[in-house]
């Protein structure tokens, strides 16, 4: 005996809508992971709507992930492959600046994790907290110098969006580092 067909009309009942979203999202994630393993591709799924909390999922041959960095990497790979080209274009090697931007994003994410750890462990001795804050400030300064050096390279064309994003990341880190008191 087969399954009964389920209509695709909007679910008016809030509970039924949540259950349907949850079940179908799990099925979609499972199918995307199977496709990724079968074909050796990466698939990013972003689910946003007024009736549910946002969720992300990346299926790849190496396994599934649910972090924003993986989604960002897949979306960037898609953007790079499609920049000014039609469908069916093979992915190109990322530019050195794009590679550096990805590394800086990872560095920024690790710094944000360190900040979260610092906030979670505020009851540490003052000397340890002071040393960690100084280290963050040094890292912030080096990130700002990197942004400045990338902005000053005229022989390499860098999209304005990358420079702006690097500058914003450095500014956010600088604001946090300056907000932390040192004895």
| Dihedral sign of CA atoms 140, 141, 144, 145 in order | negative
Question: Which parts of the chain have pLDDT scores under 70?
Answer: 1-2, 84-94, 121-129, 148, 150-167, 170, 173-183
- The encoded tokens of residue 103 equal 């590394």
pTM over 0.85: no
- 3-state helix, strand and coil shares in percent for the chain, rounded to the nearest 5: 60, 10, 30
Beta-carbon-side half-sphere exposure of residue 69 (alpha carbons within 13 Å): 12
CA 168, chain centre distance (Å): 15
β partners of residue 60: 63
Strands, DSSP E only, in the chain? 43-49, 52-60, 63-65
For the purposes of burial, counting CB atoms within 10 Å of the CB of 132, is it exposed (0-12), middle (13-18) or buried (19 or more)? Answer: middle
- The encoded tokens of residue 9 equal 């009309």
Alpha-carbon distance 16 to 125, whole Å? 51
Alpha-carbon distance 65 to 26, whole Å? 14
Q: What is the pLDDT of residues 83-119, one digit of tens each?
A: 756 555 455 666 777 778 777 877 887 788 888 777 7
Q: Which secondary-structure segment (H or E) carries 71?
A: helix 68-82
Alpha-carbon distance 16 to 22, whole Å? 10
CA angle, corner 106, sides to 92 and 115, nearest 5? 165
């Amino acid at each position: 005996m087969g399954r009964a067909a389920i209509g695709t009309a909007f679910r008016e009942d809030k509970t039924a809508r949540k259950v349907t979203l949850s079940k179908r999202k799990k099925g979609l994630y499972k199918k995307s992971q199977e496709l990724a393993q079968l074909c050796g591709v990466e698939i990013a799924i972003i689910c946003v709507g007024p009736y549910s909390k946002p969720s992300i999922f990346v299926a790849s041959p190496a396994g599934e992930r649910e972090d924003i960095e993986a989604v960002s990497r897949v979306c960037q790979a898609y953007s790079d492959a499609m920049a000014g080209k039609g469908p069916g274009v093979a992915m190109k090697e990322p530019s050195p600046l794009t590679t550096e931007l990805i590394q800086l994003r990872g560095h920024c994410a690790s710094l944000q994790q360190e900040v979260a750890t610092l906030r979670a462990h505020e009851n540490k001795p003052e000397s340890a907290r002071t040393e960690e804050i100084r280290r963050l400030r040094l890292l912030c300064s080096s990130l700002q110098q990197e942004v400045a050096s990338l902005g000053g390279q005229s022989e390499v064309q860098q999209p304005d969006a990358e420079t702006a994003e690097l500058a914003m990341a450095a500014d956010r880190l600088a604001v946090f580092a300056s907000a932390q008191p040192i004895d």
